[in-house]
Amino acid sequence: MIKSVRGKEPKIGEDCFVAENAVIVGEVEMGNQCSVWFNSVIRGDVHFIKMGDKVNVQDGAVIHCTYQKSPTVIGNNVSIGHNAIVHGCTIQDNVLIGMGSIVMDDCVVESNSIIAAGAVVTKGTHVPSGSIFAGMPAKKIKDISPELSSGEIDRIANNYVTYSGWFKE
């Protein structure tokens, strides 16, 4: 379902895939080659959501904001894992948000970082570039290696471009 609210209509880039039961509402701007998977929700009803190119929002994930306070801005080449929650925060380029993790209001996840599966990144946390954060509350556990960056972050983002192509045939 793609729905306007309060006069704001989602803008979806070129070569994107949106599953039939995904929900995209309101002031959402999505770049090119993005994919929004089954049962995911992107709700730009209370503030704006801006997504770059090659962002995949996997099954059951929720992206939302805080009314008049915290929009959500997502860079390029970002994977948001199954059942993750991304709320009122900034996710820069080349980031993996792990399955079931939560990134709260006013967080900044800098480029080339990984939020581990199940992590809870509490309000206002700053994740430096090249870090892996895990736990509840999430803390830095190590620096990311170039192999892990290309082997996981790039691989997953590229795979989702491929997977989405299967549904466009």
Give the pLDDT confidence of 132-143 residue by residue, as tens digits. Answer: 999 999 999 999
pLDDT band, residue 47 (cuts 50/70/90): very high
In CATH, 2-164 is 2.160.10.10: yes
pLDDT of 36: 98
pLDDT of 145: 86
Beta carbons within 8 Å of 150's beta carbon, 6+ residues apart: none
Asked whether the predicted pLDDT for residue 152 surpasses 90, the reply is no
pLDDT of 149: 79
Q: Which of 98, 96, 81, 10 is nearest to 50 (CA)?
A: 10
pLDDT of 150: 75
Beta carbons within 8 Å of 153's beta carbon, 6+ residues apart: 77, 79, 94, 95, 96, 112, 114
Per the prediction, the chain carries an average pLDDT of 95
CB-neighbour burial class of residue 162 (10 A; exposed 0-12, middle 13-18, buried 19+): exposed
Region 16-25: mean pLDDT is 97
pLDDT band, residue 28 (cuts 50/70/90): very high
Beta carbons within 8 Å of 158's beta carbon, 6+ residues apart: 54
Helix (H, G, I), strand (E, B) or coil at 131: strand
Asked whether the predicted pLDDT for residue 79 surpasses 90, the reply is yes
pLDDT of 55: 98
Asked whether the predicted pLDDT for residue 169 surpasses 80, the reply is no
Region 88-116: mean pLDDT is 97
pLDDT of 138: 97
What are 109's two structure tokens?
């996840």
